Amino acid sequence: MRLAQLAKLIQAQCTAAPDINVVGVASLLKADSQHISFFSNSALQAQLNKTQAAAVIIKPEQQHLSPVPCLLMADPYLGYGRCMNVFYSPPKPVAFIHPTAWLNPNARIGKNVYIGAKAVVGAANIHDGVYIGEACVISDGVVLGAGSRLLKNVTLMNDVCVGQDAIIHPGAVIGADGFALANDHGQWLKIPQIGTVIIGNQVEIGANTTIDRGALDNTVIEDGVKLDNQIQIAHNVHIGQHTAIAACVGIAGSTRVGAYCTIGGGVGMVGHIEVVDNVHITGGSVVLQSILEAGVYSSGSPLQKNRLWRKNYSHMKNITQMAKDLKTLKESPLNPASSPLNQKDSL
């Protein structure tokens, strides 16, 4: 398409050469005269100087740095994302059911639904334009909203509800039993899980991520939530809209996470706590209590040499006693700071 057309689609300002034809997106060094690139990191200035791109998406205040025409945007990385969706969005599925797929006679299949090889579809409700990849398992009672895409080996257990335009990556398991056990005189009694999982519109779920069904009520993932790979979301968790969670996060049961939050990789969250909207938790943190005020939160010790870490940890084991000793020292008559002569009178 012409550069001016692309600028309109990504909501950018075209500064020059509106009639240049562009066919795709590439990095600054790999782009040629038919590709768009973007500049969002000042560390890549040397690559920008050498680029042969047809045009570069760049901030207005940095356009003088570019040797090629510019598309001006306040957030060039967002512009890059929009370009990728223009040029590389997956094609809409066409009506097709592979001969090796198995469908329950009571399954309701909408228009233009693609069902891949060896997929199993129970008595589910599959809306228009859904893509079901190879070896997916769609159990009885599942509802799949229009335009959703399930890639290979996705499992949706009974009664799971997925909204419109969701993307679920390979190996994800939605609606398995939550980890609910009661100790019966030293033996574990399994508690049946009779809730399900409700997933909103435009949710993305990464590879090998698991979302457990609720115990009595439902596990809920609201609209626009983005989940990375290998995340564990336990029963009855509620994730607010447009929250993004990075890989290897574990969220224990009945925890409620607000909207517009970000949770870094490897975070662990205990159960039965609340995290309000607009909270940002940095990677590797451990959340042991509710977070009731928006902001950025961190925990854990930064990486350091093992010898120093061992030394510091040995002091940590004695920190309670050290605090007691410090308090005693402060209250000692031998401490000048505790002398009545150094204290203001209370009137």
- The verdict on residue 347 lying in a domain is no
- The verdict on residue 56 lying in a domain is yes
pLDDT the model gives residue 340: 57
Lowest mean pLDDT among 46-55, 242-251, 333-342: 333-342
Report whether 46 contacts 57 (CB < 8 A).
no
Angstrom distance (rounded) from CA 152 to CA 133: 5
Spatial CA neighbour of 15 closest among 48, 56, 65: 56
Residue 35 catalytic? no
Same domain, 169 and 20: no
- Asked whether residue 97 carries a pLDDT value surpassing 60, the answer given is yes
- Asked whether residue 51 carries a pLDDT value surpassing 90, the answer given is yes
Same domain, 192 and 292: yes
Average pLDDT over residues 189-205: 97
- The verdict on residue 108 lying in a domain is yes
Please count the other Cβ atoms lying within 10 Å of the Cβ belonging to residue 54.
24
Angstrom distance (rounded) from CA 223 to CA 154: 20
Residue 332's domain spans which residues? 307-342
Same domain, 252 and 143: yes
Which of 61, 88, 115 is the last residue before a domain boundary?
A: 88
- Asked whether residue 75 carries a pLDDT value surpassing 70, the answer given is yes
Angstrom distance (rounded) from CA 231 to CA 182: 25
- The verdict on residue 149 lying in a domain is yes
Q: Please give the distance of CA 210 from its chain centroid, rounded to a whole number.
A: 13
Same domain, 262 and 240: yes
Length of the chain as a residue count: 347
- Asked whether residue 206 carries a pLDDT value surpassing 70, the answer given is yes
Q: Residue 347 — pLDDT band, cuts 50, 70, 90?
A: very low
Where does 238-283 show beta strands of DSSP type E?
Answer: 238-239, 244-245, 250-251, 256-257, 262-263, 268-269, 274-275, 279-281
CATH number, domain of 185, equals 2.160.10.10
Same domain, 183 and 132: yes
264: phi > 0 → left, psi -120 to 50 → alpha, else beta; which? beta
Which residues are bridge partners to 137 per DSSP? 120, 155
Same domain, 279 and 181: yes
Q: H or E segment at 108?
A: strand 108-109
Average pLDDT over residues 171-176: 98
pLDDT the model gives residue 167: 98
Going by the DSSP 8-state scheme, the letter that residue 206 receives in this structure is -
Amino acid letter at 8? K
Average pLDDT over residues 101-107: 98
- The verdict on residue 35 lying in a domain is yes
Angstrom distance (rounded) from CA 185 to CA 192: 19
Same domain, 126 and 67: no
Instruction: List the catalytic residue out of 35, 169, 235, 242.
Output: 235
71, two tokens: 């598309």
- Sole residue written with tokens 């050469």: 17
Instruction: State in Å, rounded, how far the first CA of the chain is from the last one.
Output: 82
Same domain, 277 and 328: no
Amino acid letter at 302? P
Task: Answer with the residue of higher pLDDT: 91 or 178.
Answer: 178
Q: H or E segment at 10?
A: helix 3-10
Look at the chain and report how many structural domains it folds into.
3
Which of 88, 114, 133 is the last residue before a domain boundary?
A: 88
Same domain, 64 and 187: no
Same domain, 257 and 172: yes
pLDDT the model gives residue 164: 98
